[in-house]
């Protein structure tokens, strides 16, 4: 059987990884500033993380949600404490798309309405509702097109007000737009959304799948704006590579038996991974590290490129300079540094939150060399 060919692959196969480094079968080392798409939060193969999963594997790895599972409670408690959302409750699932899908479903159950306002350029995942709320017609099948979604330009308060009528169940917005190329909602815009949602009985959903889990220096990116949404979707960094996602749910939104459900969500291994991630973020002060190393990177990249750099903490994006269109390829092939991209020509940095100053400087010196010595196109 062949693989269903839907991905364009880099010509590299990592076989081993540690911290912010990965190695291929020939022993070639790479610096990983992409983190497998913002997933590697505490670093590859962190010993404490590996031990927690191994230990759990030897006890019990899975049982369905029809039994008690104290690990889920421990995870929820630790997530509440570290994120500042102690009073919220947690629904566990397996991925970012599922987290958004469940958040949308919850908003619709609670309000009895079906219309959703989403942002232009947004990405929310590939399940039915999440992909319908993703502003990319190429990945929306006719089957997904039945949802009532209105796209508005981000940071335009009057466009939002014009779209907001009494049919709207929820407004869905990323903490920072990731797939689009790292674009931030302005704090005043998020505050406006929060105010309008409160006035109109609309549910505010923050998709923190990419921007959450400490990446921007606060636990969730929206916390820079001082707002408290009704629902927060999380995944990626939550399991440092072990598939796990979740929805943080405001205390006013009440569950009923059978309202949501999943077979795999919140399984023992996923919880062990998730608990280890939270413990490591706290013990190693990784949010502070993301803030410090991120600020250093943003300042230095701006000065090398003499152009604006977007983002916060270790969620960074910049446009590939005009005469350096091979920059990302050169960083991989010549300097052995992985970065992410966004179309058409944006470079994204989404490294582990534990990225060291030394590794950040390796990147900066490679970037400096490319920009000042090698005009390629
Ligand atoms: N929301 C955002 C903001 C994302 O960046 C992504 C993944 N790129 C998703 C949702 C979907 O997550 P997953 O691939 O885990 O379903």
Confidence at residue 86, expressed as pLDDT on a 0 to 100 scale: 98
First to last CA, the chain: 41
Confidence at residue 227, expressed as pLDDT on a 0 to 100 scale: 98
Same structural domain, 72 and 168: yes
DSSP 329-346: HHHHHTT-EE-EEETTTE
Q: How far is the CA of 235 from the centre of ligand 1 (A)?
A: 8
What is the sign of the dihedral through the CA atoms of 199, 200, 201 and 202? negative
Query: Residues 233-284: pLDDT tens digits?
Result: 999 999 999 999 999 999 999 999 999 999 999 999 999 999 999 999 999 9
Q: Rounded mean pLDDT of 25-50?
A: 98
349 has pLDDT over 90? yes
The strand pairing partners of 115, in sequence order, are: 168
Confidence at residue 377, expressed as pLDDT on a 0 to 100 scale: 52
* Mean per-residue pLDDT of the chain: 97
Same structural domain, 119 and 22: no
> Looking at ligand 1, which atom is closest to the CA of residue 98?
16
How many percent of the chain have pLDDT more than 90?
97
- Ligand 1 contacts CB of residue 209 (under 6 A): yes
- Ligand 1 contacts CB of residue 125 (under 6 A): yes
Q: Rounded mean pLDDT of 183-188?
A: 98
Helix residue ranges per DSSP H, the chain: 35-38, 47-57, 70-83, 96-111, 128-132, 157-163, 187-200, 268-283, 286-305, 327-333, 357-373
Instruction: Spell out a b/e string for 21-54, using b for 16 or more CB atoms within 10 Å of the CB, else e.
Output: bbeeeeeeebbbbbbbebbbbbbbebeebeebbe
CA dist 358 and 336 (Å) reads 15
Q: Please give the tally of structural domains in the chain.
A: 2
- Ligand 1 contacts CB of residue 96 (under 6 A): yes
* Ligand 1 pocket, mutate which of 6, 125, 180 (most atoms under 8 A from CB): 125
The helix/strand/coil state of 215 is: coil
Confidence at residue 222, expressed as pLDDT on a 0 to 100 scale: 98
The helix (run of H) or strand (run of E) holding residue 93 is: strand 89-93
* Ligand 1 pocket, mutate which of 102, 124, 133, 238 (most atoms under 8 A from CB): 124
Q: Which domain holds residue 29?
A: 14-45+285-373
Distance of CA 137 to the CA centre of its chain: 21
375 has pLDDT over 70? no
Distance of CA 17 to the CA centre of its chain: 21
Confidence at residue 58, expressed as pLDDT on a 0 to 100 scale: 98
**Is residue 14 classed exposed, middle or buried when 0-12, 13-18 and 19+ CB atoms within 10 A define those classes?**
middle
Same structural domain, 298 and 347: yes
Same structural domain, 110 and 229: yes
> Looking at ligand 1, which atom is closest to the CA of residue 236?
15
Confidence at residue 11, expressed as pLDDT on a 0 to 100 scale: 84
Read off the pLDDT band of 10 (50, 70, 90). Answer: confident
> Looking at ligand 1, which atom is closest to the CA of residue 211?
3
Q: How far is the CA of 201 from the centre of ligand 1 (A)?
A: 27
Residue 253 belongs to some domain of the structure: yes
Query: Residues 63-83: pLDDT tens digits?
Result: 999 999 999 999 999 999 999
């Amino acid at each position: 059987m062949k693989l269903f060919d839907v991905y364009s692959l880099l010509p590299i196969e990592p076989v081993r990884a540690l911290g912010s480094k990965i190695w291929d079968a020939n022993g070639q080392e790479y610096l990983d500033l992409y983190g497998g798409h913002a997933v590697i939060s505490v670093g590859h193969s962190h010993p404490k993380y590996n031990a927690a999963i191994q230990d759990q594997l030897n006890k019990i790895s899975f049982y369905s949600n029809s039994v008690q599972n104290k690990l889920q409670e421990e995870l929820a408690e630790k997530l509440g404490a570290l994120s500042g959302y102690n009073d919220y409750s947690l629904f566990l699932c397996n991925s970012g798309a599922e987290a958004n899908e469940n958040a949308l479903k919850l908003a619709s159950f609670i309000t009895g309405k079906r219309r959703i306002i989403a942002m232009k350029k947004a990405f929310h995942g590939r399940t039915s509702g999440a992909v319908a709320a993703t502003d990319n017609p190429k990945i929306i099948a006719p089957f997904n097109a039945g949802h009532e979604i209105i796209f508005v330009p981000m940071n335009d308060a009057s466009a939002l007000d014009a779209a907001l009528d009494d049919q709207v169940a929820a407004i869905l917005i990323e903490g920072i737009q990731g797939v689009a190329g790292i674009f931030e909602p302005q704090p005043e815009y998020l505050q406006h959304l929060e105010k309008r949602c409160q006035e109109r009985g609309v549910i505010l959903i923050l998709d923190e799948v990419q921007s959450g889990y400490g990446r921007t220096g606060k636990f969730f990116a929206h916390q820079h704006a001082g707002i408290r949404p009704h629902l927060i979707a999380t995944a990626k960094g939550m399991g440092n590579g072990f598939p796990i996602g979740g929805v943080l749910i405001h205390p006013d939104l009440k569950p009923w038996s059978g309202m949501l459900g999943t077979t795999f969500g919140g399984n023992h291994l996923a919880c062990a991974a998730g608990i280890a991630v939270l413990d490591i973020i706290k013990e190693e002060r990784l949010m502070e590290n993301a803030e410090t190393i991120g600020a250093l990177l943003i300042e230095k990249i701006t000065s090398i490129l003499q152009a604006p750099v977007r983002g916060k903490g270790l969620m960074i994006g910049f446009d590939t300079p005009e005469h350096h269109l091979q920059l990302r390829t050169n960083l991989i092939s010549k300097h052995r540094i992985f970065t992410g991209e966004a179309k058409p020509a944006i470079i994204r940095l989404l490294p582990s939150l534990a990225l060291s100053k030394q590794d950040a400087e390796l990147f900066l010196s490679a970037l400096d060399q490319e920009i000042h010595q090698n005009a390629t196109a």
